Amino acid sequence: MSKTKPLPVPNHRRYPSPQPAGNINDHAVPLHSSGIIRAFAEKPGKVFLLYGERAIFQLSLQMAAQAMAGGKPIAVVDGCNRFDVHALSRFARTRKIDPNKFLSRIFISRGFTCYQMEQAIAHKLPAFLAGIHSNTALVFGLLDTFYDEQASLREVRQILQRLLGSFQEMKSKGISLLLVCLERTVAPQERNQLFGTLKKGVDRVYKLNINERGALQLLLESRQPVLRGFNETEAAGKLSASCRTSKGDYNYGTDRTNFHQPDRRGTCKLVKVPPRTP
């Protein structure tokens, strides 16, 4: 049996090579992994955070694959080089689904700076989801790019606040977002506060850890109550407006953040999705 070659990715000084996500199967995360899948798939319009051990990427790909198997397109914004096209291909083959057709339902955009991540999520993602008739997106490693000291702490805090406002605005339009982050401690210490801010801005926080028996355990860490009479769209607009700079826009950085699809011709490269014709 021939071995599958790893997915080629651009070398970048800030990111290690991606770790393989492993096979996607119903027993990948043994304790109640179906709970988060059901909760995320139920009513549209939610923001979930999944963090902890490295298997979170395996679990999130399982969630994406379950939706794709039902014919649903998915968009992924990857800020930490964790997307694994081979895991999705294996999922399709084990369920006797045409991998070419299956992979045509997922679109990937990579971000290497916090500015690119803001552009991809806040400004390109909503319109892109509307264009592919989807309301579901995954964001890998949102804060990884925020730990780069080339961007000041004040600046990344402002970007994060703007993104939290964008999350609420997308949620009010029926878009569901799954944010997937590793649990980590960074230096300088002040940047660790970003993760606490992120946790307070989502609907549910799930943590995947290792219990005393050495087994993976998925926990619902927090769940935000829905406030009656709370206008999320209005609140999101006020939050976003309060975080704008004197320039009046969010267009920081010059690098593009385009959405791509996995190449289904066997090269395992990411290819740019051509613009849609009217």
Instruction: For the chain of 278 residues, list the mean pLDDT of each consecutive stretch of 10.
Output: 37 42 42 78 93 93 92 95 92 93 95 96 96 97 93 96 97 97 87 94 93 85 58 39 39 53 50 44
Q: What is the DSSP letter of 214?
A: S
Tokens describing residue 238: 């006020």
What pLDDT shows up at residue 30?
36
Contacts of 249 (CB under 8 A, 6+ apart): none
What pLDDT shows up at residue 191?
93
What pLDDT shows up at residue 222?
84
The amino acid that residue 172 corresponds to is S
Superfamily (CATH) of domain 33-272 = P-loop containing nucleotide triphosphate hydrolases (3.40.50.300)
Q: Cα separations (Å) of 179 from 18, 52, 73?
A: 18, 12, 17
What pLDDT shows up at residue 42?
85
User: Tokens 């609140």 map to which residue?
Assistant: 235
What pLDDT shows up at residue 228?
38
223 close to 49: Cβ distance less than 8 angstroms? no
172 close to 233: Cβ distance less than 8 angstroms? yes
Tokens describing residue 144: 């990884």
CB neighbour burial string for 22-31, b if at least 16 within 10 angstroms, e if fewer: bebeeebbee
What pLDDT shows up at residue 253?
42
pTM, two decimals, is 0.74
Task: Give the total residue count for the chain.
Answer: 278
* Contacts of the segment 117-121: beta carbons below 8 A, 24+ positions apart: 117/77, 117/79, 117/142, 117/145, 117/146, 117/159, 117/163, 117/257, 118/159, 118/162, 118/163, 118/250, 118/252, 119/250, 119/251, 119/252, 119/253, 119/257, 120/77, 120/257, 121/77, 121/163, 121/166
